[in-house]
Amino acid sequence: MLIEKTRLRTDTLSGKAVLVTGAGGGIGFETARALAWLGVDVIIAEIDEEKGAYARDAINKELCSSKACFYAVDLSDEAQIDGLCDFIDSRYGHLDVLINNATVATMGAVDAVPVTDWDYSYAVNLRAPVLLTQKFLPGMKARNSGVIVFVQSSGAAPYMGAYEVFKTAQAELCSTLAGELEGTGVCAYAIAPGLVRTETAQRAIETVSLLMGMTAAEFYKMNENHMMSAEEAGVGFAVSVVNAGRYSGLEIGCVQALMDAGVLDAGVFKNEKLAQAGSLGITPDGADGIEGCIEKVVRAFNEQYDGWHERSVFERQWVLRDFKKTVGMAADGYQNLLASLLELAKEKNYEKIAGHKAELEKLIEFYDHQYKLLQGYEKDPVMLEGNSRIIRGWIGDVQAVLDYFR
């Protein structure tokens, strides 16, 4: 099992009761499997009774335990959700962790998807997480302990509206909830699995790729170096619970969770930005001066910005949202900021440039984040080495500007 490669033990989450919705297969099943290995009592909530029972039996047999149980539920039906909550309360006393994994991948053009399908997608992808949160949150608040995990998607994309609208809304719901929970022992965060070839995803991609004028095979070929297995994603979900306190209020990806748990190795990069900048020949006293350093930052960012807009719609929406979340402003706004910094450098108005140190530090944070993601996604060692060197160069360029204002 991949979970065995972490730094965690089989009793890391012992005694916790965790609900994973939609856990009969795919990412949900792998999440439940990894959680059971970590010692939790995991409740598999699944609409398909055959899949749910199989998942329960497979996990218990593999781990020689009875940690997994199955409850059949249609999350679009509030009465059935009530039954699920009553079952958990009666069997476990309370719920420690809620993972809103269940999804309905409704695809098609906005004007072509029947409103009944929109309604069903809303019921499963957004209304159910709201209902489950409302039902379990009071108990978590009373105990001042608990974790609520939302599973988000990348953002608006053609032919995916009836799915994406409600999945991205989970991220906004998470941000709202996290703000309300500040100062408490209850955590809420959102996690994105990335591109995973599950049965549900494959059906969705077959529909969307056809509408976008390509085959499903062409779509997967285009993204083959950035795909994650269901087990990798599921383990990412599971180990994120261990670090819930540090993720509260954030939108994270499975890669980050896996790296933090020691499954993926980010190498020696970590906090060696200054040393790397020096190894790249970038120093505050360089012949380029601060104007030349800022020109490098602007040139590199503009090349990235153009490259983002040439990516597939899925990748483009994800990276732009990720940038805004990390840096605190939209990419086009940041591009304008850098252009203004270059003008200030030409005018030798260094005091005003120094006033934007925080924004430059945020750009380093984003590049650092991208570097870590790259280590998990890129499978080609040559491409990994080359792209890693490029990102280290970007960080060195920004650090060279900041070094003027120490």
Is the per-residue pLDDT at 170 higher than 60?
yes
- Given this model, what pLDDT does residue 194 score? 73
> What's the CA dihedral at 105, 108, 111, 117 to 10 degrees?
-30
pLDDT at 283: 36
Residue 340 confidence (pLDDT) above 70: yes
pLDDT band at 403 (very low <50, low <70, confident <90, very high): confident
Per-residue pLDDT band for 53 (boundaries 50, 70, 90) equals: very high
Q: Residue 269 pLDDT > 60, yes or no?
A: no
Which range (153-162, 230-239, 285-294, 334-343) has the least confidence?
A: 285-294
The closest of 72, 14, 71, 20 to 42, measured between CA atoms, is: 20
- For residue 215, the model assigns a pLDDT of 78
Q: How many other C-beta atoms are found inside a 10 Å radius of the C-beta of residue 61?
A: 10
* Residue 311, token pair as written in the block: 């990516």
User: DSSP string covering 83-130, please?
Assistant: HHHHHHHHHHSS-SEEEE-------S-TTTS-HHHHHHHHIIIIIHHH
- What is the per-residue pLDDT for 264? 66
- Share of residues in the chain with pLDDT > 70 (%): 89
**Residue 232 structure tokens:** 């990798």
Q: How much is the average pLDDT of 106-115?
A: 93
Least confident among 127-131, 272-276, 317-321, 369-373: 272-276
- On the question of pLDDT at 86 being above 70, the answer is yes
pLDDT of 36 higher than 80: yes
Does 265 have pLDDT greater than 70?
no
Count other Cβ atoms within 10 Å, centred on residue 223.
18
Q: What is the residue type of 325? A: K
- Which comes out higher in pLDDT, residue 260 or 177? 177
Of 18-22, 46-50, 88-92, 155-159, give the lowest mean pLDDT range.
Answer: 155-159
Mean pLDDT value across the chain:
85
Q: What is the predicted pLDDT for the residue at 222?
A: 66
Mean pLDDT highest for which of 194-203, 361-370, 383-392?
361-370
CATH 3.40.50.720, the chain: domain bounds: 13-260
**Least trusted range by pLDDT, from 6-15, 203-212, 262-271, 283-292:** 262-271
Q: In this model, does residue 260 exceed pLDDT 90?
A: no
Predicted confidence at residue 357, as pLDDT, reads: 86
Between 265-269, 330-334, 354-358, the lowest mean confidence (pLDDT) is in 265-269
Q: CATH assignment of 13-260? A: 3.40.50.720
